Chain A
C-alpha cells in the first residue's frame, strides 16, 4: 500500500514538471480567462439579472430543464461531431498542417452520408455503416484535395482549405437545390428529409442509460477514434513519420520520409475524421428517433470551425481534444438558457473566441520563452554550460511548425 503511494507520488512529481502538465495548466488558464470575460459581459449588459445569468453560464449542460442526467446525455450526444472535427484539425496539426478546411470536409461527409441514408433503401441493415463510411471517404477526398494541391503545386493549405469550404457548401446546396431536390429535400422547410430508419446509427443501449437525451452509438465511436488516433500517432511507424514531418519537415525528408505523401495522407485522414463527424451528425437518430436534417442555407457549418479552438485547447492531443470538445459543447449549452434571460447567446461564442485567443497566446508566450532561452544560450555560444548536459532541456513549442 505504502509502496503504491510512493509510486503515485513520484509519478505525480514527474508529471508536475512535464510539458503535458504545463499544456494542461495553460489550457485551463485560457478557459478561466474566457469564462471571466463572459461573466464581465453579463455584468455589464444587465447587472440586475447577473446572478442568475452567471449561474446559467456556469451550469452549461446542467441547465437542462428536464434534469441534469438528460443534460449530460445531451452534452455527449452533441459533442460527438465536435470530437471528430477537433481530431481532424489536431491530426493535421501534428503533421504541421493547419486544416482550416475541416468545415468543408464535414459538409461533404454529411452530404454523402445523407445521400446513402436517404436513397440507399435496399442496403438493409448495412445502410448506416455504409452511409457512415461513404461520408468519411467523401471527407477524406475533400481533405486530400488540399494536400494534393500543396504537394504538387505548393498551394497554401489554408487558402485551399478556405476555398474548399465554400466550394463544398455551394456544391452541396446546389445539388440539393437542383437535381436532388425531388428525392432528398423537404420543400416546405427547405431542409433535407431525415434519413431512413435503417440508416440511423443505433442507440446501442445508451438510450437506456441516458433516456430521452438522443445519445447514440456515435459517442462510442468517437471515444474509439480518440484511442485509435492516439495509437496511430504514438505507436506506429506511420504516425512517427507524420509527426516528424510536423516537427521538422527538412529533417524528416532527409531521413527518408516522403513528406509530400505524408502531407496528402495526413490531410486525407483529417478529412476522413471530419467526414465521419458530419456523417454521424446526419445519421444520428436524435431524441425519440426523429432524425436530423440539413438546412439549405448558404452558411458554412460551424462544427468544422469549432474544431480549431478544440484542437488548440486540447493541445492537439487526442485525449485533450476529447475533453476540450466536451468543454466547448458544455459552454455552448448555456447559450439558450442565457438568451431566455435576455442575454445575447453570442456570449458563448465570445467566450470560445477568447479561449482561442489565449490558447494561441500560450503558444506565442511559450515560443517567446523558448526563443529567449535560446538567445541566452547563443550568447554563451558553444562555450555554454550545455556541453555537460546539465542545462534544463529546451521546451518544445506548444505546437509544431505549421506548413502553409
Chain B
C-alpha cells in the first residue's frame, strides 16, 4: 500500500537524552495508525517534528515519496498535515465558524470576510463526515466534544489529509468517545490518514489498523492490530508484563472513617448549588469512587472535604469527629491525606525542592522541626526514602526543584507524600492523570495496599477505566447530586455512562447511622 508519510531514521537529542533514536515511522493512506508509548517515550517529540515544531537532528521526512522540509506548523499545514492538540487551540468567545476560518478567512477581494460561503462549506463538510455541529454556536457554550469536532473541522476546512490526534479521548465521556471513533473511521474511509496518539489500549484495539510502539525513544516495532493482543502491546510498550486486572481481596468493612451529611456548596457567582445535599459514608477497607463528567461538582466536593472551601451547610465527620469547621492543618494532622486535582496549583510548590515538597505536610511536626527550627537531616532522609520507594525520577535527587520534574514524577511525589502520611482517610482526585501504564499500575497497587491496611479511600475520577477497575463502590455525581450508589461489581460501563450523562437517576436514601455510630459521635461532642 502507498505510504503517504515516511519519517526515516529520525533522531532528536535533547541535553542528556535521546528523545527519538533512529525512529522510522510510516503512515499509509487511509489508515488509522496508533502511536503508543509510555510518558517520555518520544511520541510527542516525533509528532512535533512532523508538525514542524521541532527540527530533527538527523533523518528525513518524505511525503508521497518526495523529501520535504517542515520548519513550522504552517509548512506542515501546506503539506496537508493537521493536528488536534490535547488542549484545544480555540478562541473561547468566538463562534465555531470564526474559529474554523481563523487565519484563512475567505474574502471576496475587498478584505471583508465572506462568512456566508464559509458557512456553506462548513455545513457541507459536517454533512459529509456526519459531524453534529452548529457553526454559529460560541465555543465556550458548547460541550468538549463539540469543541473537539470544531478542531477536526478546522483540519478538514484546510483540506488536510493527514490528521494527528493527540490523546483525543482523555477529555471525553464514554458516549462521546464512541462518537469520535465512528468519526475517525469515517474520515479514514474518505481517504484521510490518521495518526492516533494514545495511552489507552482498548481504543487502539477498536479503531486502529496498525500500531507503532515507542519505548525510550526507540521504535519497538509496527504491527497490525488484528495480530496483537492488549497484553502483547503493553509488554512492547513497558518492557514487562503489566497487570490489567487489579488483584483485590474482599475486605471486611470497618468503621466509617468519613461521613458526609447533607453537604451543600453554593457557587458565589452563579448562586448554583454545585454540591447539592450530598450524603455518603466511606468505611475502613473500601475504595469509594466518585464517577462523573468533569464539572458536575466533584472538584467542589473535594475542596469542601479538604477544607479549601467552606461548605454552605452540612457536616463532614472524620472518624466520627465533626471537622466541618476545622482548619486544613487540623485535618491534615488528624488523619486526612489528600491528593489534589491540580498538582501545580495545590499539590506542589514548584519553586521549592523535591525534599521540601515531600515534607510539605510534615515540616511543622517533630522530628522535622525542633522548637520551631527546621531540621534538614530528617527531611532529606524522608525524601530519599520516598524517592527510592516510589521511584521518583529526578535530575539531582532530593534537592531537584520540583518544577523541573515531569508531570508523571510530580504526581508520584504527591502520591508518595500522601501515602507516607499514613492517614486513616485518603482523598484522591484524578490520581493517575498523566501517568503511564506502569506508573498507573504502581499507583493503584499502592492505594489498594492502603485499603488492605484498613484505610478508607475516596477517589474522584473522570476516567471510567479507573473507576471500573479500582473501586469497591461507585457513587455517580451529576449536577451536584449523587445519582447512583452501587457496588462496582453490580454495574456495567454503559449503564454508568447513562448515570453520568444524567439520563438515569436514582433516589439516594438519607444517611443512616447505627446506634454505635451515634454513640461515637456523642463521645466526640462530649470530649469538647
Contact = CB atoms under 8 A, between A and B. Distances in A.
A396 B401 contact: yes
A251 B45 contact: no
B15 A255 contact: no
Contact of B406 (A258, A379, A386, A397): A386
Contacts of A257: 329
Interface residues of A, number: 37
Given A382-B434, A389-B393, A396 B42 contact: no
A389 B407 contact: no
Interface string B393-411: 1111000110111111100
A248 B360 CA distance: 12
Interface string B404-423: 11111100000000000000
B334 to A, nearest CB: 11
A247 interface: yes
Interface stretch (B61-69, B275-283, B288-296, B341-349): B341-349
A121 interface: no
B332 A256 contact: yes
Given A240-B363, A400-B351, A382 B44 contact: yes
Given A254-B338, A390-B17, A391-B14, A382 B407 contact: yes
A247 B17 CA distance: 30
Interface string A231-263: 000011110110010011011111111100000
Interface in B1-50: 14-17, 19, 37, 39-45, 48
Contact of B349 (A237, A248, A256, A390): A248
B117 interface: no
25 contacts: A236-B373, A237-B363, A238-B372, A247-B350, A247-B352, A248-B348, A248-B350, A251-B360, A254-B346, A255-B332, A256-B332, A380-B45, A382-B40, A382-B407, A382-B434, A383-B19, A383-B40, A383-B42, A385-B14, A385-B40, A387-B408, A390-B15, A391-B17, A394-B401, A396-B351
B329 A258 contact: yes
B345 A250 contact: yes
A390 to B, nearest CB: 4
Interface string B348-371: 111110001000110110000100
A391 B409 contact: no
Interface string A82-119: 00000000000000000000000000000000000000
A383 B363 CA distance: 33
Contacts of B48: 379-380
A389 B394 CA distance: 4
A393 B400 contact: yes
A388 interface: yes
B406 A387 contact: yes
Given A236-B374, A237-B369, A391-B16, A384 B332 contact: no
B404 A391 contact: yes
Contacts of B328: 253-256
Given A240-B363, A385-B16, A400-B351, 7 more contacts: A235-B374, A248-B348, A255-B328, A380-B54, A381-B86, A391-B16, A396-B401
A392 interface: yes
Interface in B212-254: none
How many of chain B's residues touch chain A, expressed as a range?
35 or more
Given A254-B308, A254-B338, A383-B45, A237 B404 contact: no
A393 B327 contact: no
Contact of B45 (A236, A238, A384, A400): A384
B333 interface: yes
Given A251-B348, A254-B308, A254-B346, A393 B395 contact: yes
A396 B403 CA distance: 9
B423 to A, nearest CB: 13
A254 B404 CA distance: 21
A77 to B, nearest CB: 34
Contacts of B345: 248, 250-251
B401 A393 contact: yes
Interface of A: 235-238, 240-241, 244, 247-248, 250-258, 379-394, 396-397, 400
B238 to A, nearest CB: 13
Contacts of B19: 380, 383-385
Given A251-B345, A254-B346, A394-B403, A379 B53 contact: yes
Contacts of A253: 308, 328, 346
Contacts of B349: 244, 247-248, 251-252
- Across chains A and B, which 6 residue pairs bring their CB atoms closest together, nearest first? A387-B40, A256-B329, A383-B44, A393-B404, A390-B16, A385-B17
A380 B44 contact: yes
Contacts of B168: none
B166 interface: yes
A199 B61 CA distance: 82
B395 A389 contact: yes
Nearest to B401: A393
Nearest to A258: B327
Contact of A254 (B37, B42, B306, B352): B306
Contacts of A392: 15, 395, 404
B402 to A, nearest CB: 9
A388 B45 CA distance: 15
B361 A255 contact: yes
A381 B393 CA distance: 17
A102 to B, nearest CB: 25
A242 to B, nearest CB: 13
A384 B165 CA distance: 18
A389 B405 contact: yes
A381 B166 contact: yes
Nearest to B435: A382
A262 to B, nearest CB: 12
A248 B14 CA distance: 29
Contacts of B53: 379
Most interface-central of B43, B360, B401, B406 (chain A CB within 10 A): B406
